Amino acid sequence: MVWDCWPQHFEKMCTWLKKYNVRTAIFTSSQTAERIKERSPKMNVMFCPEGIDTSKYIAGKTLQERSIDLLEFGRSTLNININGNENGNGNKEQIRYVCTKMNGKFQFSSEQLTETMGDAKITIALPRSVTDPKMAGDIETLTQRYWECMLSRMIMVGQAPMELTDLIGYDPVIAMDRENSIEQIKDMLMHIDDYQPLVDKNRETALRLGDWSLRINQVMDWLQKCEYSV
C-alpha cells in the first residue's frame, strides 16, 4: 500500500514494482492508481482514499464560542501579514491567528493540536498540488488534513480535492477568494453562525465515511475478489 507517490517518484515506483514482481498494489491517490494500471495492466491495482482514526478528534465548541479566528497547521498556506491590514479609520484590524509551526518546526503535541482545532473557527485547506506544485505536479489527492478539519468542525477555506467531493457527494470547503482572502475571512467571521450547519454536516460525514475501519473492510472485500484469503 503506497502513500504519496508524487510524479518525481513515479518511474522509480514502476521500476520497483516490476523488480519485485508485485501482483497487487493499493494507492491512496486515484490518479497514481490509474497511471500504474496503465503501465501494468496485469497488476491488481486499487485506489483507497486516505482515512483517519475518527475517535481521536473532538467536535469542540460551537463556532461562536471559539477563541481562535484562523488556524494554520501543516504546510504553510498564507504568505501574508494577517494582522497588518488597516481599516478606514487607519486602525489595524486584528484576526486572532495561530500557526502551529515556527521556523519550520511543529510547536504543538498531538493532544494540543486536537484541542486547538476544536477551538478554531477557520482554517486554510488546499491540496498539495496548489501549495507545493513542484512536488505534487498535477496529482490532487485527499489527505488526512481534510478529515481532521471536518471532524474538528473548523470551516475550511480553500479547495477540496475531487477525491473528497466524489466520495462524500458535496463540497465541504468554502472556495477561497485568492485576491481578497483576508477580506473574505473577516466577512466570514462577522457571519460565523451562518457556517455552523456546514461544519456540523462535515463532522457527521467524516464520522460516517472517513474512518479507517471502513477503508479496511473495503480493502478486504477487494482482496477477496482478487482471490486472496483474508
Region(s) of the chain under CATH 3.40.50: 56-209
pLDDT at 133: 83
| Grid coordinates belonging to 13 | 515506483
pLDDT at 77: 52
Report the Cα 70 to chain-centroid distance in Å.
16
- Asked if residue 190 lies in contact with residue 14, where contact means CB atoms within 8 angstroms, the answer is no
Q: How far is CA 148 from each of CA 65, 87, 122, 198, rounded to the nearest angstrom?
A: 19, 33, 13, 15
Is the domain covering 56-209 a CATH 3.40.50 domain? Answer: yes
Residue 79 — very low, low, confident or very high, per pLDDT cuts 50/70/90?
A: very low
pLDDT at 76: 52
**pLDDT digits over 15-26, tens only?**
999 999 999 999
